[in-house]
Amino acid sequence: MSLGIRDEERRIIPRWRDSATTSALGELSQPGSAPRPILAASDFEQKALAWEREQTPSSAAELVGAALVLGREQDAIAAAQFLVRQEVTVTTTVREVAQTVLLRAGELTPPAVSEDPTWKESARSRIRHLRSRLHDEPRNAVLWTDLSREYASIGLSDQASRAMETAVALVEGNRFVLRSAVRLWVHLHDPERAHDLLRRRVATQEDPWLTAAEIAVASVAERQSRLVKRATQMISNELFDARQTSELASALATLAMKDGSAKTARRLFAHSLVSPTDNSLAQATWAARRFAGISVDPSALALPRTFEARAWQFFGVREWFKSIRQCMLWIRDEPFAKRAAQMGSYMALVGANDPKLAETLVKLGLRAHPSDPALLNNLVVGLIEQGHLDEAERLYHSIRRPVSDQESETTLVATAGLLAFRRGNHDLGRKLYADAIAAAIAADLHRIAVIAELYMIREMIRAGEPGVAATLTEALQNYGKLPDADVQELLGRLRQDHNAKALASMHP
Amino acid sequence: MRTSAQMLEGLTLDGGWRVLSRIVPLSSATGGTFSEGYLVRGPNNEQAFLKALDYSGALKSPDPARALQALTETYNFERDLLHRCRAHGMDRIVVAIDDGTIRINGAPDGGVVQYLVFELADGDVRSQADTSQRFERAFSLRALHHVATGMVQLHSDGIAHQDVKPSNVLVFRKKESKIADLGRAVRNGAAPPHSTQIVAGDPVYAPPELLYREVDPDWNRRRLGCDAYLLGSMVVFFFTGQGMTALLARDLHPSHGWLAWGGTYRDVLPHVRDAFGRVVNNLKLILHPDDRDRIVSIVRELCEPDPRLRGHPKDRNTPALQYSLRRYIARFDWLARRAEGGLNRRLGASP
């Protein structure tokens, strides 16, 4: 049986993208009052006059350089246009500066944040490039952070950790580095370290993005955040604009939801959605799935890189391939995001009935999580569905079973049932499925129990077992009205399988 | 209506200087907004450049008394610095040959004009670029050698120039470069009016820490650190056609730029450093292979975004020497001699 929709808990742990993308998404602007403009009117006017009088490449180059430094791009458009003309011979650098002036003056269309996070080069080649730059720039904390991300994306946890430690040692309160470090330590199952890192920094008390991360990671580490009161003030005092406090409001809303303060949670989620990030949007859509009164404007899904939220939206309406596509993009956006690979491979197996596609998704996830039992379980199921039973069995026995993860353990027992059925050992198969269902019920994992039961019925239909029609009818009665899209998909397929089997038995 | 400073044509000044013609200020002309330039002929028939202080702008300001006072103090400060430079034989600084005051009868704005006379230059370094705005390698390196020498001369007398930029590096006899315009210079222990400004010189070339308004109370770090950056920026200018600050502005995401950033310099520094790394990487691609490593290393040391780490690695840990540019004189000289063909590549050991 496949495993994928782990939707019980979600915290707003920072996304971790490369520095250029994070900047382009506008998540690194610094809160606080805007600085005073640089008083340099006379310097600029002199250069503007010189350009007007001389109309030479030299005076144009001087003016466009000044425009970029002083934020006067609008006043240097003519000079920049002059410099980008083919017949004007200037250095490549001068031409590039002129192009930047035109871009910032709105004369050229800026490139949008790419919706496809796929890199042209492999992770290994990006690592080579970053290491080569770091050889010359050993104090570049941004590069160390990007390098750490590349290592994490291919499962080299020790290297990722070392690179991040270097980055963290080089900065005081830099948001990009600290939030990335938090994401890494959570990824490496060390939320306490992530929390320690943040709570020791002064910037965490001043920067709402860091405060949000501290509150979220404290929750993962099962600690109490000491910044909740301060965070509440940051929002109520309106010292920051809604974009700056979107994730902070979302973190507080999630806490309120956990504490059962419905009204507060709704109010804070509403605040988080005024100008959301893709992460706060995903958090709100997650909350809306389990909590009435949180409304998410569908137009927000058009925001860049809202892959997770879109995947869930398509999941809800059983648009399996569209949802899988969003999971694929989500994995490329955050290669270490286990949930993306789990959810995508699950939908490929259960919704799209495409085990080959599931295998592809699992393998993407395994690069960063090579021993994740949930992903390996889905790979085993994919292999069984493709008829590669020996390979599936070998892989199944190699899985290190987590002691404390009841969900994975239960699912693995059910998968053993699937394997037994496909080996022709129906009694053992039924027994294992029954064990899994009982264990799931005992652990309050009712969704898992339902899915396991439906999988068992599928195998019984497939095996042509007598009495399966009654079992199926019972399942349809019991679960036909559940809201879960995957349950309904499975029920529909069971009905089809059963009808097809019945038809086949009538016309052998 | 013409101001007194615009009425000097045809006059003969003290010292025998005959004012020939007013020079329409070019972008390459030295001097600020409050001055006029003239071509003058001296008693020995030599031509020179005259910079006349124009008070009219100050008189039109909202607080004329204060503006006038600031202008006069700035002029006096610059004149005194020029006297010091001359007295100390600073041959890489454009020093005043003469200075004085003339009264224009019937002028509407009082008629008192103070002036400084300088040796006449061919133009600033930009006039030496070819049609595609590129500089000959040997010329650039020699000019950098001269600029470094000029800065060391100033620093040895406790003066920080603060405004070294292409238009303030003048060329004489096609090959001699000198630093001009001490109008924004500061001297350790003295306090000209502009010393209260965070960015004393042209902000277009200023080091990033000043643009982010990080004011270090340490004079050396703030002033000499700025000069070191400006020398590094001149290196970048000669090989790219733009100063380092403009290139940082290009490579920094606008949300991290000095115009948008509301946080501390420490917090934005990682992004500035990253942009700096990209600028230097691009610079590498266009440098002559013979010079590449040495030039890149000079730029990294002089334009290092963290002023605490700026300067030659061997001097960095000695506070009094951290921003010393002496070693760069030798380094530019060596590079220039090799580019000029006067140094055997095998024998010439790099300083």
CA distance A219 to chain B (A): 26
Strands B186-187 and B112-119: unpaired
- Encode chain B (351 residues) as per-residue pLDDT tens digits: 788 888 999 999 988 999 999 986 544 343 445 788 999 999 999 999 999 988 877 777 788 888 888 888 888 889 999 999 999 999 999 999 999 999 888 777 778 899 999 999 999 998 887 766 678 899 999 999 999 999 999 999 999 999 999 999 999 988 899 999 998 999 988 877 777 788 888 999 999 999 999 888 899 999 999 999 999 999 999 999 999 999 999 999 999 999 999 888 999 999 999 999 999 999 999 999 989 999 999 999 999 999 999 999 999 888 889 999 999 999 999 999 999 986 555 445 566
Residue in B with minimal Cα distance to A51: B27
Residue A70, exposed/middle/buried by CB under 10 A (0-12, 13-18, 19+)? buried
pLDDT of residue A80: 97
Q: Cβ–Cβ of A50/B26 closer than 8 Å?
A: yes
> What would the two tokens of residue A427 be?
């009694």
Provide the shortest C-alpha distance from residue B254 to chain A (in Å): 9
Nearest by CB to B277, from A34, A71, A140: name it. Answer: A140
Q: Give B257→chain A minimum CA distance, Å.
A: 9
Question: Angle at CA B173, nearest 5°, toward B169 and B175?
Answer: 60
* Residue B268 amino acid letter: V
Residue B30: predicted pLDDT? 39
**A47 vs B255: CB contact, 8 Å cut-off?**
no
Sign of the torsion formed by the C-alpha atoms of A334, A335, A337 and A341: positive
Name the minimum distance, in Å, from the CA of B105 to any CA of chain A.
Answer: 30
Q: Please give, rounded to a whole number of angstroms, the shortest distance from the CA of A61 to a CA of chain B.
A: 7
pLDDT tens by residue, B194-214: 777 888 889 999 999 999 998
The residue with tokens 């959570």 is A186
Within 8 A of A93 by CB-CB distance, chain B residues are 240-242, 247, 282, 286
CA atoms of A107 and A109, how far apart (whole Å): 7
Helices (H), A273-337: 278-290, 307-316, 320-333
pLDDT one digit per residue (tens) for chain A, 508 residues = 666 666 668 899 999 999 999 999 989 988 555 555 565 667 788 899 989 998 999 999 999 999 999 999 999 999 999 999 988 888 999 999 999 999 999 998 877 666 666 666 788 899 999 999 999 999 999 999 999 999 999 989 999 999 999 999 999 989 999 999 999 999 999 999 999 999 989 999 999 999 999 999 999 999 999 999 999 999 998 888 899 999 999 999 999 998 889 899 999 999 999 999 999 999 999 998 878 888 888 899 999 999 999 999 898 888 999 999 999 999 989 988 889 999 999 999 988 889 999 999 999 999 888 888 889 999 999 999 999 999 999 999 999 887 777 888 889 999 999 999 999 999 999 999 999 999 989 888 888 889 999 999 999 888 888 888 888 888 888 887 888 888 888 889 888 877 777 666 666 5
CB pair distance less than 8 Å for A97 and B274: no
pLDDT at site A147: 97
Output the average pLDDT for chain B: 89
Q: Which among A43, A89, A170 is the nearest to B204, CB-wise?
A: A43
Interchain CB distance below 8 Å, B241 and A90:
yes
Q: Which of B197, B250, B277 sits opposite A137 (nearest CB)?
A: B277
Geometric angle at alpha carbon A392, from A387 and A394, rounded to 5°:
140
* pTM > 0.90: yes or no: no
H-type alpha helices, A156-245: 157-170, 175-187, 191-199, 208-220, 228-236
- Please give the structure tokens belonging to residue B173: 């006899």
Burial of B219 from C-beta contacts in 10 A (0-12 / 13-18 / 19+): middle
B131 closest CB neighbour out of A33, A70, A89: A89
Question: Rounded to an integer, what distance in angstroms lies between the CA atom of residue B205 and that of residue B198?
Answer: 13
Q: Compare CB distances from B246 to A68, A139, A140 and report the shortest one's residue.
A: A68
Q: Do B126 and A38 touch (CB under 8 A)?
A: no
User: Given this model, what pLDDT does residue B27 score?
Assistant: 40
Residue A120's pLDDT is: 62
Q: Helix crossing, A355-366 with A373-385: angle to 10°?
A: 150
Instruction: Quote ipTM for the complex.
Output: 0.90
